[in-house]
């Protein structure tokens, strides 16, 4: 079954619709490049937003966290979620303060989580581990039964989503006439530094070459 | 009047309470170092989470966005908000997958926004501009009346909040006996690249030296 086509009326981009992107491959690439998602839940009428480690597995998004957390107790209950991923790509410096903004790529996913158990849960944890630090799983001690029991893993289908990409040049508008400051872009990137060793000798290649 | 002491029962850190920090100066520093906040609102029972430009102004947090957006229409109405800021500081690589995690600093603020108008709004926009790119305001064209009218600015008091800081070494647990892979940290930092000029000659010093 083909997933529902995004965006729905709930996810349609209303602000700056020219920045809306409907290409599923772009959505996938943003989710894959991000290390952390911000997951929103509602408890009574109060929203809560928490950073959560995620990974994309085909057309679903995997989230994992502690079974003891309020967030995951709510998520495994199938509550409505909003999962937002934002990558900052630069400061866009326009002639005016109003037109100055950011280069960014963001995804908003609405949906509900399904808790995974047994082999499906173990397989999903492998996907999560491989997404964050490919190569590590062969070296690391695998989870014990107790650790598995302490971890919630949920899958959220990538069915209702929107993508926004801001990547253009600074806008020049009529009111800018007569103003000629420098304009341009300061690119931003989450950059790995030199690994710090706690145990062992030289870090393995999957650590020294890690990047996003 | 001293703001209410955080955390309240709604913001008390339950998961990994040893990572909870109750120092207001740490909370301020995290908010000041972040470029974007993730703001959660609830519409009917559905949470929505959006990236928003923010700045701290003393003991309040300023947010700004389009008057036309659903988010800001909800925020200026005084709806309950959750504002979450997350800084990723590194990949923490432990012997086990379970103990491997991130170095991060995060702030969660609960509250309601008050819309600012007139001089208070203009002053808040100056604070927002100076927080993102100090020095720019003297060169840029200031906002017109039309641009001001298209921008919502709200203040949220920093009264109910929690802070979590993960900065330790990888945990070694009993089950790790016999496993001796490399362990350590891959530091992460949002790094500015070489500025790209759109208009003008060399970028000014406040652009070339910008960092977080």
Q: Does this complex have an ipTM over 0.95? A: no
CB-CB neighbors (< 8 A) of B169 in chain A: 198
Distance from CA of B32 to the nearest CA of A (A): 16
pLDDT by residue for chain B (212 residues), tens digit each?
A: 333 445 677 887 777 777 778 899 999 999 999 999 999 999 999 999 999 999 999 999 999 999 999 999 999 999 999 999 999 999 999 999 999 999 999 999 999 999 999 999 999 999 999 999 999 999 999 999 999 999 999 999 999 999 999 999 999 999 999 999 999 999 999 999 999 999 999 999 999 999 99
CA distance B109 to A143: 34
Q: Which two tokens stand for residue B94?
A: 């432990």
Q: Say whether pLDDT at A142 is over 80.
A: yes
Q: What is the pLDDT of residue A173?
A: 96
Put simply, whether B74 touches A (Cβ < 8 Å) is no
DSSP states along B151-203: EEEEEEETTEEEEEEE--PPP--GGGTT----EEEEEEEEEE---EEEESSSP
Which residue of chain B is at minimal alpha-carbon distance from A11? B48
Put simply, whether B20 touches A (Cβ < 8 Å) is no
Q: pLDDT (tens digit, 9 = 90+) per residue, A172-199?
A: 999 999 999 999 999 999 999 999 999 9
Q: What is the pLDDT of residue A21?
A: 80
Whether omega before B38 lies within 30 degrees of 0, making that bond cis, reads: no
CA distance A147 to A64: 12
How sure is the predictor about A12, in pLDDT bands with cuts at 50, 70 and 90? confident
Nearest to B91 among A133, A180, A184 (CB): A133
CB-CB neighbors (< 8 A) of A51 in chain B: 84, 86, 104, 106
Interface test with B, best of A96, A168, A199, A210 (most B CBs within 10 A): A199
């Amino acid at each position: 079954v083909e997933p529902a086509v995004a965006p729905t009326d709930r996810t349609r981009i209303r602000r700056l619709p020219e920045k809306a992107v409907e290409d599923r491959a772009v959505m996938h690439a943003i989710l894959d490049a991000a290390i952390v998602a911000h997951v929103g839940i509602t408890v009574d009428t109060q929203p809560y937003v928490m950073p959560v480690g995620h990974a994309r597995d085909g057309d679903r998004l995997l989230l994992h966290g502690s079974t003891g957390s309020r967030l995951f107790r709510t998520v495994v209950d199938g509550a409505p979620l909003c999962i937002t991923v934002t990558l900052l790509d630069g400061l866009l410096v326009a002639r005016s303060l109003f037109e100055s903004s950011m280069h960014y790529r963001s995804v908003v996913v609405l949906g509900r989580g399904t808790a995974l158990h047994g082999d499906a849960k173990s397989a999903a944890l492998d996907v999560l581990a491989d997404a964050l630090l490919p190569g590590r799983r062969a070296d690391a001690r695998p989870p014990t039964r107790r650790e598995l029991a302490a971890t919630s893993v949920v899958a959220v289908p990538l069915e209702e989503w929107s993508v926004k990409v801001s990547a253009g040049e600074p806008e020049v508008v009529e009111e800018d006439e007569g103003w000629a400051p420098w304009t341009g872009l300061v690119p931003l990137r989450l950059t790995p530094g030199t690994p710090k060793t706690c145990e062992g000798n030289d870090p393995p290649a999957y650590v020294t070459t890690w990047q996003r």
